[in-house]
Structure 1
Amino acid sequence: MFQFPPFGTTTLAQWCDLQEELIRSRPLKPRTISDRLNNLRHLRLSLGNRLLHQIMPRDLELLINNIAKSGRPFTARRVHIEANDLFNTAVYCRLLVNNPLSPIKTPTPRPARDRLSLLHFLKIREVAESWKRPWFANCLNLALVTAQRRADVAVMAPPHVFASHLHVTQQKTGACVAIPLELKLDAIGMSVGESIDRCLEVQPNGNTFIARRDGKPYVTAMLTHSFAACRDEAFPRKTWRSPPTFHEIRSLSERLYRTQGIDTQTLLGHKHASMTDLYNDERDVEGRTYRYVSLS
C-alpha cells in the first residue's frame, strides 16, 4: 500500500520515486521498465526540486521542446506521455487539482528514416543474390511476405508451421498472429509457403528458417548489418536523407498488402489501426489466442 503525502508538500522528485515503485510493480518487460525510468530521469533532472503544485505548463513545454531540439524528438514524445501519466496519477491521488501538462500537445515527430520502396527492395535483394548470400535473399523475402519484425523473422522455425498457417508470437508485444501459407504478396509473386520452402532449400536442417551453416539462427545484428551492406552497395548514400533499415521492410509490406485488400492490422499484430478491420477471427491454439489473417 503506497502512502501519499499531504497536498502541497510533495516535490516532483518525490513523486517520481513513487511513480518508479508503481512502474516496477507492474507486469512489464525489463526493457519497458528501463525506458520508462529513463523518461522519469528527464523530469527529475529538470524539475525535481519543484513542488508538484508549483509546476506550470510552460515549465513542461520548455523541457519537452529542449529534448526535441537536441535531436531526440521521439524521446520528447515518450517523456510527454510519461509526464502525462505521472501528473494524472497525482490528480487522482488529490495531490494536484489539475494536470499541468493538459494544455501541451503530444509531440508528433516526423519519421527519421526514409521509406523503402519496392524498387529499393528488389535492388537490395539483387545485391544479396549477386553476393551469393541466398540465406539473406530468402530472409528479405520472408520478412516482406510475412510483414513481421526483424526479431520475429530471425526465430521463425518449422515447428511454427501447422494447420496450414505460420504461427508467430511477436517478441515485442506478445501478439499472436497466424498467417496462411497461401497468403501471396502479388508485388513479388511469392506466397508465405513458397518463401519458407526457399529457406529450407538453402538450409534444410536449420533450427530456424534463416540459419547459419551449423544450423543455428543468425543474431538480429547480422540481419541489420547485411541489410545495410546490401543497401549501400545497391544505392549511393546520397540517395537517402536517412538510410532505411531492415525494419522498413515491414512498412513496405503493410503498404503492398493494403493495396491487395489484406487486413494489415491483424497481419502486423496491431491492437489499433486507422483502417477498418476486414475479415478475421480468433482461435485458441495451445493455450494462446491467435488472430488469423484472412486471405480475402
Structure 2
Amino acid sequence: MAPRPRKDGNKDLAGLNLYRKTDKRNGKTYYTYRDPVSGKSFGLGTNKEEAIKEAVAAIHATVRHQPALVDRVKAPEESKLFSAWLVEYRELYAARGLSASSQRNVGMRINRLDKVFGGIGIREISTMDVAKYLKGLTKEGKAPMARAMRSLLRDVFLEAMAEGWCTDNPVDKTKAAAVTIKRGRLTLDLWKAAHAEAKQPWLKRAMELALITGQRREDIASMLFKDVYDDHLHVVQSKTGARLRINTDLRLEVIDMSLDSVIKSCRDRVLSPHLVHHHRTISRAKAGQKIVLDTISKEFAAARDRGAEALGIDLGDTPPTFHEMRSLAARLHAAEGRNPQALLGHKSAKMTDMYRDSRGAEWIDVA
C-alpha cells in the first residue's frame, strides 16, 4: 500500500522524519520525530531549528555510512575490509603449527566473524560493535562461545595491529562473559556403578584407560598397541599436541588397576591395532575397528544412567559426560600423591586446578 502523502505544511521537513503539529488551544507549533525503524514518535518542542538538529543527529547515530568513494580511493589503507584481513590471519594462525582439531575449530569461528564483521572496514569496528555482538551471544545462552569469540577477536586485532592494518584493539575494553558451569562432576561411586553397567567390553576398557591416564575421549579412541614400548604408553594429544610418555606401571589404588593390566585386557581374540575396538561385527562396524567418538559418548551415557538408577541418585538436567573422567582422574591421582598437571598435559597449574574442583560433588573430610 502506498504511503500516506505528507501534508503541505510538512514538506520543508522532508527527509528528516520530522512532523509539525499546531495545538489549537494555544496556537503553538510542536515538532515530532518519528523513528523509521521502530515507528515510535518523540516530541522535540517548539523550536524548529533545534528540532532539525536533533533529527539530523538521530539519523547519523542510527545509520552507518559507507565511506565516500573519493575517500576510499585517496586512502585505501584506511578502508580495508575486515574480511580481507581475515584471509591473512588464517595464514598466520595456520603457521602456528597447532593441532588439526584446533585449526578446524578456529576456522569455524573465523567464518562466524567474517559473516558479522566482514563487510566493515577494520578500522571502523568499534568497541560498541564488539560488545553488542558478544552480548548477543550471551543472551542466547552461549556465554562460553562469547568468551571464546572474544579471545579470538582480541588475537585477530593484535595481529592486525602488528601488521599495520589498524592502530588500536576495540576488544580490550570489552568485558568477558561470566560462564556458569552447568555440567555435573563424575564421582568415583558413579564411575564404579557405570563401569559395572557397561555392556560392551570395549567401554569398560575405555573407562579404565580414561580414569588411569586422564586423557580425553579423542585420545583414548586413538590409542594404538604400537604406541606402547619402552614400558611407556606414548600419547600425542589431539587438542594441544602435547607429547606424553605415561609409565605402564602407573596405578590407581582406589580401583586396584594399573595401566599395564588394562592394556593387557585390551588384547583379546580379535586382531586390532587399537586398544579400544569392536570385539565383534555389528552392522557396519567390523570386529577390530576403532570405536567412533559418538558411540563412546552414547554408550557411556547409557551405562551412566543405569548406574545412577542402581545407586538411586538423580543426575539432574546436566549429567556428567565421558569427559568428566578427566577431572575425576585428576582428583584421584592428586589424592594418591601424584602430579595431575603432568598427567593431563596442562601447561598451567591453574587449568589443572579447574579440573580438580569437584564443584560440590564430593564430601570434604574435616579432621
Q: TM-score, normalised by structure 2?
A: 0.65
Q: In the TM superposition, what is the alpha-carbon distance from 1:229 to its structure 2 partner?
A: 1.2
- The residue aligned with 2:216 is 149
Task: Give the 3-state SS of the residue equivalent to 1:228 in structure 2.
Answer: helix
The yes-or-no answer on 1:222 pairing with 2:292 is no
Letter in 2 for 1:231: R
Q: 1:95 aligns with which of 162, 165, 168?
A: 165
- The residue aligned with 1:43 is 113
In the alignment, the residues of structure 2 paired with residue 104 and residue 229 of structure 1 have an alpha-carbon distance, to the nearest angstrom, of 42
Q: In the TM superposition, what is the alpha-carbon distance from 1:97 to its structure 2 partner?
A: 2.5
Letter in 2 for 1:79: M
How does 1:6-17 map onto structure 2 within 5 Å? Answer: 6-17=76-87
- The residue aligned with 1:179 is 246
In the alignment, the residues of structure 1 paired with residue 290 and residue 107 of structure 2 have an alpha-carbon distance, to the nearest angstrom, of 32
The yes-or-no answer on 1:269 pairing with 2:342 is no
Contact 1:203 1:209 in 2 (8 A): no
Letter in 1 for 2:277: A
In the alignment, the residues of structure 2 paired with residue 142 and residue 176 of structure 1 have an alpha-carbon distance, to the nearest angstrom, of 17
- The residue aligned with 2:190 is 120
Q: In the TM superposition, what is the alpha-carbon distance from 1:80 to its structure 2 partner?
A: 0.9
Q: In the TM superposition, what is the alpha-carbon distance from 1:98 to its structure 2 partner?
A: 1.7
- The residue aligned with 1:211 is 277
- The residue aligned with 2:126 is 56
In the alignment, the residues of structure 1 paired with residue 220 and residue 343 of structure 2 have an alpha-carbon distance, to the nearest angstrom, of 14
CA RMSD of aligned residues (A): 2.6
Which whole-Å deviations, capped at 9, do the CAs of 1:114-143 have from their partners, x for residues lacking one?
Answer: 111111111101111xx4x33322221121
Structure 2, unaligned stretches of length 5 or more?
A: 1-74, 280-286, 353-367
Contact 2:100 2:238 in 1 (8 A): no
Higher relative CO (Cα under 8 Å, sequence separation at least 6) belongs to 1
Task: Give the 3-state SS of the residue equivalent to 2:288 in structure 1.
Answer: coil
Cα distance change on mapping 1:34 and 1:160 into 2, 3 Å:
closer
In the alignment, the residues of structure 2 paired with residue 174 and residue 270 of structure 1 have an alpha-carbon distance, to the nearest angstrom, of 11
Q: In the TM superposition, what is the alpha-carbon distance from 1:145 to its structure 2 partner?
A: 0.8
Report the count of equivalent residues.
Answer: 268
Cα distance change on mapping 1:27 and 1:118 into 2, 3 Å:
same
Q: In the TM superposition, what is the alpha-carbon distance from 1:37 to its structure 2 partner?
A: 3.2
The yes-or-no answer on 1:249 pairing with 2:325 is yes
Contact 1:203 1:215 in 2 (8 A): no
